[in-house]
Structures are given as structure tokens and as C-alpha cells.
Structure 1
């Protein structure tokens, strides 16, 4: 199994297991209960914090803030602050964020195809 330390992957994993490293790296970028949904929601146009919060009605303000900060720090989301009163902040996908959309599209297709079957096992 991949050995992941607190700060990322050990050197052996990065050098000798490039395929698993790629999967693990992507998994780490998307880890978090709401990140997939945030990325999917802002894929077409920039959205304000309140729009995202309204869309994800089950998320707390603190959790949403944390997830957005992580997505921004990982380079998937751009945060634009407009110098207005009150300040307006919008979130959009970066180029790196756009590149992850095909993965989310595959997840959507897979879920549509197999989701109802999986419910039989629950």
C-alpha cells in the first residue's frame, strides 16, 4: 500500500511508484467531503461564497471556508476580491482546476451507471 506521511509522499513512492503517486496526489487534492461539489458548481462561471453556501445547504460556513482555502492553496480555485463596499469575493476554477473536470465527469457517469445497483447492497 502507498505510504503517505503527514506532509505528503515519501521519496520511494514518488520515484518507484509513479502510477500510484499520481492517483494518491489527485486523491489528496480532492480529499474533503465537499470539494468535488464545489468544483462542479463553479465549473461554468465564477460564484460568490453565498451562492456556493446556498448550493451546499448542509455545509457550515467554517467548513466551506476551509475547503475553499485548501482548493485555492492547491491551485484548483482562484479567489477574486473586488474592491467594493461591501467587498465582493468570487471563486472560479484555475487552469489546473479546469483540467480536473474530466475526472469529475467520469465520476458522474460512473455514479449514474452503477449508483442504483450499489443501493441494493446498502
Structure 2
């Protein structure tokens, strides 16, 4: 055996080739009547003429405004801990590693 069967690169290559063959098979069975550059590729808007690209653009100063507004209470509490200073993040990282080491030492895994 060439190692664990699910980590064998030859098996993954074989599976990838089969997936590509299946994708090509299903794609080849699609509509043959489709033609690029015709009315088939235009936007359908309930039979109305679509507006120009500039008019279709949704104007917003921030696309995630609703998301942030909904979770404002959560973010307000967590923003205090995130100062943006690298030293603060390093201190948190070292403290968590030390806490993990203490827990593992107490449990007896270290």
C-alpha cells in the first residue's frame, strides 16, 4: 500500500480526472441552441428594457451597513479589546499559550 489510502496523491488525481470527465459530460449535454452576442445574453427584466449600467448600480457608502448596524451592540463591546497595536495582540497570544500550557500540565498531557 502507498500510505493511507485517502492521502494517496494518485487516488486524488484519479478522482479529479473522473470529476472533470463527469463535468465535461454534463456540460456537453446542455443546450446547443445558445449563441453568445444575441438577445439570449441580454438581461431579462420582466419584458422591460434594462436600464443602463450606471443606473443599475446600487449606491451605498458601505455594502455591509445593515450587517454592522444590526450587530452594533456586539461590535461596540468588542472594539475596546481591539486597539490595533501589535504589542497588545502579542500579549494576548502569549497569555493564551501560557494558559493552554498550564491546563495541559495540570491535566498531565504535557
TM bucket (normalised to shorter chain) is under 0.3
User: Which structure shows the bigger proportion of residues in strand conformation?
Assistant: 1
More contact order relative to length (CA 8 Å, sep ≥ 6): 1
What's the TM-score once normalised by structure 2's chain length? Answer: 0.24
What's the TM-score once normalised by structure 1's chain length? Answer: 0.23
Name the larger-Rg structure. 2
